[in-house]
Amino acid sequence: MTRRASEPKRAALARRVERIVANTPVFDIHTHLYDPAFKDLLLWGIDELLVYHYLVAEAFRYFDTPYEQFWALPRTRQAELIWDALFVQHSPLSEACRGVLTTLNLLGLDARKRDLPALRRWFAKQNVEKHLTRCLELAKVERICMTNSPFDDLERPVWEKGFRPDERFVAALRVDPLLLAWSGTAPRLAGWGYKVGGALSAPLIGEVRRFLADWTKRIRAKYLMVSLPPDFRFPDGSMCAQLIEMAVLPHCREFGLPFALMLGVKRAVNPALRLAGDGVALADLQSLQNLCSGFPENKFLVTALPRENQHELCVLARKFRNLHVFGCWWFTNVPHVVEEMTRIRLELVGLSLTPQHSDARVLDQLVYKWSHFREILARVLTDKYAGLSRAGWEATTAEIQRDVNDLFGGAFERFCQTG
Ligand code: FIX
Ligand code: ZN
């Protein structure tokens, strides 16, 4: 076909793909949002958007105040300083800043006057339940997976007391303190009635598994999850690797649950920045290979923080069907890298993965995180279907819809159900 003839065809394909990608509901498989029954744990509104740790890290580059002086301020004052530094004194070009503006814009607010008090007045009038529904509708998110930690003193009592769940939320059991800080966690388990004193032994493992079983049932966990540092190795004599092998993996097999690994986060590179102080370094994917090949009856959901791990991770996914790649996590969730990762994943793995999760900590962030990703995905998919078309294969609308359904939660659900 001549170039002139193919241009309208490509434009029509782009419109079709954009419409499907924009309108397909998504299952957001990893967030830090909570069912509204958790009350204040569900963060929302303009001040929370501004004090998001992604923005805190950026704002500190312009501040000259000592860290602790900033943290001692009321949250509203922190938000004002961040607004001033990142939106008034400089143009908000970074992805996290642009995200605030996309969110405000799609909520129907006009931020052009740079009028923070006016924005606050609008949010003050919202009711959390209605605002939740509105954000979910704008983001076209139909289900949200929370991050649930029995070790969180604010969260644990809500589970213990019980509540009527909002069916749009599902739970995931987060086990970082168990695997990464055993010496501090063992006394807490002991305090809750689990007999975990002494050295690693069969009875101790039995008690850890009893703890995992109790919480898996209590929260009806969809999967277990841990984030791991760059120096994580498996197999290894470390407590972390041994607990994974002897307790977590058998538990996941018993309950038929995936184990989610978030690889390559270097915690507290600058502790003074608190939540904003974490960094990144290359993860050891040989260890992931050892897990996938050594435990074919286990399922691993995996995302990696370093850009440099992404290609190798896709190659591993080609070798092990018990590995499901997901998300553009944190520092990779910037348009340039998201586009690159999404292309590499589709080109190397195909559609049996989940290309994005939001990692939202503030409800309103769902709006921008999904809007920004849908724009990139539509562009990448249009290129891919156009490539097929040049090879003589025209994807039908139903086929494109099927593929997008898979990318937005279908492939994840299938992976969870297998085995
Ligand atoms: O470990 C995680 O789940 C990370 O997503 C968080 O630790 C991190 O603070 C975050 O919010 C990244 O997006
Ligand atoms: Zn997270």
Please give the full DSSP string across 109-177, using - where no structure is assigned: ---TT--HHHHHHHHHT--HHHHHHHHHHHHTEEEEE--B-TT-TTTHHHHHH-----TTEEEEEE-HH
CB 123 within 8 A of CB 7: no
How many Å apart are CA 104 and CA 152, to the nearest integer? 31
CA distances for 122 relative to 109, 125, 228, 364, angstroms: 8, 5, 40, 13
Residue bearing the CA closest to ligand 1, atom 1: 227
Which atom of ligand 1 lies at the shortest distance from residue 227's CA? 1
Ligand 1 atom 12 nearest Cα: 330
Residue 262 Cα: closest atom of ligand 1:
1
Give pLDDT < 50 ranges for the chain: none
Nearest CA to ligand 1 atom 11: 359
- With beta carbons less than 8 A apart as the criterion, state whether 234 and 287 touch: yes
Q: Are 342 and 354 in contact, with CB atoms under 8 Å apart?
A: no
Cβ-based neighbours of 113, under 8 Å, separated by 6 or more? none
Contact criterion met (CB below 8 Å) for 361 and 331 = no
Ligand 1 atom nearest to CA at 176: 1
Q: Report the SS3 class of residue 285.
A: helix
Mutate which of 151, 359, 365, 373 for ligand 1 pocket (most atoms within 8 A of beta carbon): 359
Give the mutation target among 32, 332, 366, 373 for probing the ligand 1 site: most ligand atoms within 8 A of CB.
32
User: What separation in Å is there between the alpha carbon of 321 and the centre of ligand 1?
Assistant: 26
**What is the reported pLDDT for 270?**
98
Question: What's the gap in Å between 360 CA and the centre of ligand 2?
Answer: 8
Q: How far is the CA of 30 from the centre of ligand 2 (A)?
A: 6
Question: Rounded to a whole number, what is the largest CA-CA distance in the chain?
Answer: 76
What value, to the nearest 5°, has the Cα angle with vertex 388 and ends 387 and 391?
A: 95
Nearest ligand 1 atom to alpha carbon 225: 3
Determine the Cα–Cα distance for residues 70 and 351; give it in Å rounded to an integer. Answer: 45
Backbone angles phi, psi at 156, to 5 degrees: -55, -45
Measure 309 CA to ligand 2 centroid, in angstroms: 18
SS3 34: coil
Give the list of residues 6+ apart from residue 10 with CB closer than 8 angstroms, or none.
Answer: 382, 386
Rounded to the nearest angstrom, the distance between the alpha carbon of 357 and the centre of ligand 2 is 9
Taking the centre of ligand 1 as the mean of its atom positions, its distance from the CA of residue 330, in whole angstroms, is: 7
What sign has the CA pseudo-torsion 285, 286, 287, 293?
positive
Which residues are placed with Cβ below 5 angstroms of ligand 2, an ion?
359
Q: Are strands 259-263 and 221-228 parallel, antiparallel or unpaired?
A: parallel
> What are the residues facing 221 on neighbouring strands?
171
Instruction: Read off the DSSP letter of residue 43.
Output: B
| Six-digit token string for 46 | 């303009």
Q: Is 412 helix (H, G, I), strand (E, B) or coil?
A: helix
Ligand 2 centre from 105 Cα, in Å?
A: 25
Do residues 106 and 372 make contact, with C-beta atoms less than 8 angstroms apart?
no
> What is the reported pTM?
0.98
Residue 180: in which H helix or E strand, if any? Answer: helix 176-180
Question: Taking CB atoms and a 6 Å cutoff, what residues make up the pocket around ligand 1?
Answer: 32, 147, 227, 262, 275, 330, 359, 361
- How far is the centre of ligand 2, averaged over its atoms, from the C-alpha of 302 (Å)? 12
